[in-house]
Amino acid sequence: MNASLKPDGTTLQQVKLLIDGQWVESQTSEWHDITNPATQQVLAKVPFATTDEVDAAIEAAHRAFQTWKLTPIGARMRIMLKLQALIREHSKRIAQVLSAEQGKTIADAEGDIFRGLEVVEHACSIGSLQMGEFAENVAGGVDTYTLRQPIGVCAGITPFNFPAMIPLWMFPMAIACGNTFVLKPSEQDPLSTMLLVELALEAGVPPGVLNVVHGGKEVVDKLCTHPHIKAVSFVGSTAVGTHVYDLAGKHGKRVQSMMGAKNHAVVLPDANREQALNALVGAGFGAAGQRCMATSVVVLVGAAKQWLPDLKALAQKLKVNAGSEPGTDVGPLISKRAKERVLSLIESGIKEGAKLELDGRDVKVPGFEQGNFVGPTLFSGVTTDMQIYTQEIFGPVLVVLEVDTLDQAIALVNSNPFGNGTGLFTQSGAAARKFQTEIDVGQVGINIPIPVPVPFFSFTGSRGSKLGDLGPYGKQVVQFYTQTKTVTSRWFDDDSVNDGVNTTIHLR
C-alpha cells in the first residue's frame, strides 16, 4: 500500500514493524487508521502484519536468543539503566503522542509512562532478582544450588488503555532475564509504544532481542501457537484473555492473562468523608473510566448512604474536554464503538430501574464536537442483577449500591465473579483487618481506591480477572520469565576414600 495523504497534502505516517533490529515496511494489504479520539483526525495507519512477517519476527527472536541468553547479567542491567534514563528524558514528548492517540489528559499520560518506568527501574536490579539458592554440604561433600535461567522467546499482547505502562511491564523484565521478545501493541494506539521501542534500541537492545508486529486476532493466534514462543503475557478484555489463555496453554506455553474487572469501593460511615469522596470520584472517572483498576462500584454502608448527594456534586464539577486541553479531568473514550457501547449500557441501566443521578450522555465539548465524549455518569438504586453491575462498562460510569453492614458488603464483593481490586474506606483498624482477611480479591486498598502495587511487589488480580499463577512485574514475573535448574555436585580429590558402589537413592 502506498502512503496515504493528509488533507493538507502531506504524507500520512505508516507505522512500521521491527524485525531483527530493522524497521520494516509491511507488505500487508490490511491497514487500520489510528485516530485522535477527541477530533477523529487520522494520525497514522497501522499494518496488520502478514503471516510471513510474524514468522520472521519470531525467527529473529529465536536466533537472537542463542547469544542473548549468554550475555552477562551486568550488560543487561546497564541497558535497562540506559533505557530508564532515556524514558525520563523523553517522557514529555511521549506523553503528548499518547494523549493524542489515546485521549488521556497529559497528566494521566505522564502517569501512564511513569508507572511503566518504575518497572524498568526494577529491572535494573535483575542481578539480585535473578539469583538462585545455594545449600552447602546437603550430604557428605555434596552441595546443591539452583540457577534461574531464561526460557526463550516470549510474546506480549497489550491493550489500548495503557500504551506505555503495559508494554513496559512486559518486555524490559523479559529481556533483563535473558529472554528475547515479540511485542504486539494495541492496533488502536501503537505510536507511543513505538517511541518506547525506539528508546530501547537506542539504549542498546541488540537486533532480534526485541521485535514488534501489529495486527488483530490472526497475529495474536500466531503468537499463541508458534513452536518457538515459550511464554505469552496478555492484558486486555476477558473474552480475548480467555481465548489467549486457552489457545496458548493448549500449545504448551506459559501464560499470564490479566483481564476484566468490576472493582468495588466499600465506604464505612467512619471514613474521612472528604478524602474518601475525592478518591472515589478520581478513581471512578479518571481516564474516562478506561482502567482495569478503575473503581466502578461504590458500596455505601449504613449512614454512609447519606453521602450520595456529595458524591454527585463532586462528580458534576469535573471538566470534560480533549486530553490536550489544560484543566481537563475527563477525556474522550478511545473510539466511537466504545462510546456506543457505554451509551447502550447506560440506557440498559435506566430501563432496568436504576436511578440516573448524573447523566453524561449529551455532553458537548466546544471545538471538539466530533469527539467520543461521555461525561461523568452516576447511578443509584442499582441491584446486582442489572447489566450496569454485571458487565464491565469501561467508561465514566459509577454505580452505587447500598447495604447495612460491613459483613453484607464483604459478601456482595465476594459474590462478584471478578477479583482484580477492591478498596475499603474507614478509620477503623479492626474493620480494615476484617476486610482484608475476609475479602476474596487479589488486590486490596485500605483508604486507597486503585490498589496497584509498586513493582517491588507483584500485580495479583484473582478469580475472573486473572488466568495463570504468576502476575506481571515483581518477583512473580522473574519466575514467569525464567526456569529453575537444580544442580547437585560433589567433587573428589585424589586422596578421597572410595565409598564403593551405592545402589540406594540416598546420598552419603
Which residues are annotated as catalytic?
292
State the Cα–Cα distance between residues 378 and 360, nearest whole angstrom.
8
Among candidate residues 320, 335, 284, 372, the one with its CA nearest the CA of residue 160 = 335
* CA distance linking residue 99 with residue 334, whole number of Å: 11
Q: What distance in Å separates the CA atoms of residue 419 and residue 283, rounded to the nearest whole number?
A: 17
Distances (CA, A) of 229 to 168, 255, 281, 322, 483: 19, 11, 42, 40, 15
Query: Residue 352, SS3?
Result: coil
**156 near 179, Cβ under 8 Å?**
no
Look-up: residue for cell 457505554?
Answer: 342
Contact between 474 and 459 (Cβ < 8 Å): yes
Question: Do residues 319 and 285 lie in contact, with contact meaning Cβ atoms separated by under 8 Å?
Answer: no
Contact 123, 481 (CB under 8 A): no
Its sign, for the CA torsion 122, 128, 132, 133, is: negative
Taking alpha carbons only, the member of 120, 193, 198, 122 closest to residue 156 is: 193
Segment (H or E) for 346:
helix 336-351
How is residue 140 annotated by DSSP? T
Element (H, E) at 18: strand 17-19
Conformational region of residue 400, where left means phi above 0, alpha means psi within -120 to 50, and beta covers everything else: beta
Taking Cα atoms as reference points, which of 32, 480, 350 lies closest to residue 215?
32
Long-range contacts of 24-27 (CB under 8 A, 24+ apart): 24/53, 26/50, 26/53, 26/214, 27/53
Cβ contacts of residue 504 below 8 Å, gap of 6+?
none
Q: CA–CA separation, 287 vs 376, rounded Å? A: 11
Q: With b meaning 16 or more CB within 10 Å and e meaning fewer, what string describes 382-410?
A: beeebbbbeebbbbbbbbbbbbeebebbb
For 379, list phi and psi in degrees, rounded to 5.
-115, 140
Could you give the CA distance from residue 365 to residue 157 in angstroms, rounded to a whole number? Answer: 33
For 381, what's the count of Cα atoms within 13 Å in the CB-facing half-sphere?
A: 10
Are β-strands 134-139 and 422-425 bridged in parallel, bridged antiparallel, or unpaired?
Answer: unpaired
